Structure 1
Amino acid sequence: MRSGEGVVREICVIGGNRYFGKRLIARLMAAGDRVTVINRGSSAPPAGAIHLVADRNDENSLEKALGSRTFDVVIDQVCYTPRQAEIARRVFAGRARRYVMTSTVEVYEYEDSAALVREDAVDPRTVAVDLELPWDDPEFLDAHYGEGKRQAEAVFARTRPAEPAFPYVAVRVAHVLGGDDDFTGRLDHYTDRIRTGEPIAVPAVNHPATYIHVEEIADFLAWAAGADFTGPVNAASHGALTTEELCEAVAAHVPEGGTVFRSVEVGEVSPFSFARSYGMDNSRGTRLGFTFGESSEWLPRAVAETLGKDN
């Protein structure tokens, strides 16, 4: 039941105490939902939220913290591996009417298409799951981020005769920009190089990509929590952006600098530069009722926010 119809929804958020996660929690609470936040205790949730301390990688810890609680919706902000998904599916089966997993555009890392990529390009029902891979090794996980998310989706999508269906949504999030709390440092990379004139390394053929503003993805996740669709859905603003467009927006705040690109055939390139084309098609989310913004319209604001400038 949606809040605002006389019934308060019980919503559990796993992780999500920074960046767009904290914005999501604020939106849910403002809508009148009762929000329970689960994390390992490293940071407290906003005032008014229920705080449960548990290690989501430890099934017993999670079960003990939850007790007999049940939820209308669980929003999992920190599911990176199929092992984590297996634990979550076992623990929340029967506890949650709906499970929303924050996934990523990187599930399409093997795609290379001139056309925007639709959800059916990666069907989680056909993705093989290997629980024996070293998912607990941070270096392995970092190098296999997209694969971890693909296999986590596959666990939630799985159907077996003796296993009840799991009502899940996998929100495949585009590259996120904006906010004064962007902890990634990716725009700082461009700022530093434009300010000093140091070359910006890009692939020989550099493709545009799809993005979403930090406030927009918080809106999308809050909207998805209250909807009734299931399965994968792409979350990206309209309009792909090129590295050149990003640099133009940054350069507007660094008038003393200069933008120099260096094309590389092999080796490390700058963030937000891509040797393949895998921008996301957002038509499913649009058909379901979400109104996406235009990336070219919010880009100047996003850059100004992150660089701490007045826009």
Structure 2
Amino acid sequence: MREICVIGGNRYFGKRLIKRLLDTGDRVTVINRGSSTPPETVVHLIADRDDEDSLRAALGSRTFDVVFDQVCYTPRQAEIARRVFAGRTRRFVMTSTVEVYEYEHSTALVREEAVDPLTVQVDLHAPWDDAEFRDAHYGEGKRQAEAVLARDPAFPFVSVRVAHVLGGDDDFTGRVDHYARRIRAGEPIAVPAENHPATYVYVEEIADFLAWTAGQEFTGPVNANAYGTLTTDDICAAIEHEVGGTAEFLPVEVGATSPFSFARSYAMDNSRAAELGYTFLHSSEWLRDAVAETLGFGKEVR
């Protein structure tokens, strides 16, 4: 029986990850601030992950085979996690994001080496505690968090760079609903004048992939995304299939655009995952089901 710790992440694909670990027979410990209660079969520790003393006190002498950090957004949080979990785990898996590639302007599928954490500059003194600053620098915060964890050669670190996630009747982002409301009402959907495709991942599959990493030995960054890029048109076509109506797009040169429209490419290459032994699905295999689940027209597959 493996001892596995999950920091935060008790909703959306985090709760699915916990279920998969429990189904495998792992003993799971969840650490959060107490705002959400995990399943009764897990060990629940209440701590503020931003407070090193609080985290250490909650953990006591516990050690783990694997730690999943679902809520590491800043280099400061990464620094605390690295100090606290050094020597406590053989494997530390951070949920990162496609947004780490925000400076890599390319129309080609981007590979992990495009952002080497060892070359990323870290600024621990930036106002990371300010929520507005943190939200505005989401991708940079994740980049720097990866850099902090990667620079300790004795720390067994993995960063799973997750594509934009679709699916589930518990999708709290409101992004799919944004399009559905406008399509139903016949309202225009703002997109960049040059609207780029992106890679996505199904909510059930990212939970599968994270659970799979628990039993692996590789370290470093790995892209987690389906085969096949999607455009705003593709997603809206799937929504049209559920709600009726026709999407009307309004190209804009400057100003706010809709959630799944991008002025630059966010398309990742998942060949490292395949080389390591995990093959993702193609987006065409789950897109309609994912949209139906989110809009309440279907049931989750798992």
TM-score normalised by structure 1 residue count = 0.95
1:105-254 matched pairs, under 5 angstroms: 105-159=98-152, 165-254=154-243
- Secondary structure of residue in 2 paired with 1:262: strand
1:4 alignment counterpart: none
Distance 2:177 2:24 in 1: 34
Question: What secondary structure is seen at the aligned counterpart in 2 of 1:273?
Answer: coil
CA distance in 2, matches of 1:157, 1:273: 31
Identical positions, percent: 76
Instruction: Number of aligned residue pairs: give it.
Output: 299
Post-superposition shift, 1:114?
Answer: 1.7
Moved more, 175-184 or 42-51: 42-51
What is the RMSD computed on CA atoms of the aligned residues? 0.8
Deviation (angstroms), 1:10: 0.4
Partner of 1:281: 269
Give the TM-score normalised by structure 2: 0.98
1:21 is matched with 14
Q: Is the 8 A contact 1:191 1:250 kept in 2?
A: yes
> What CA distance in whole angstroms lies between the structure 2 residues aligned with 1:259 and 1:144?
31
Equivalents in 1 of 2:71, 2:298: separation in Å?
32
Question: Could you tell me which amino acid in structure 2 is paired with residue 156 of structure 1?
Answer: L
| Aligned partner letter, 1:195 | R
> Is the contact between residue 15 and residue 38 of structure 1 (CA under 8 Å) also seen in structure 2?
yes
Aligned to 1:294: 282
Match of 2:247 in 1: 259
Runs of 4+ in 1 over 4 A off after TM superposition: none
CA change 1:69–1:310 in 2 (3 A) is closer
Is 1:48 matched with 2:41? yes
| Structure 2 unpaired stretches of 5+ | none
Partners of 1:214 and 1:242 lie apart in 2 by: 18
Secondary structure (helix, strand or coil) at the match of 2:106 reads coil
Write the letter of the residue equivalent to 1:186.
Answer: R
SS of the residue corresponding to residue 212 of structure 1 reads strand
Q: CA deviation at 1:278?
A: 2.6
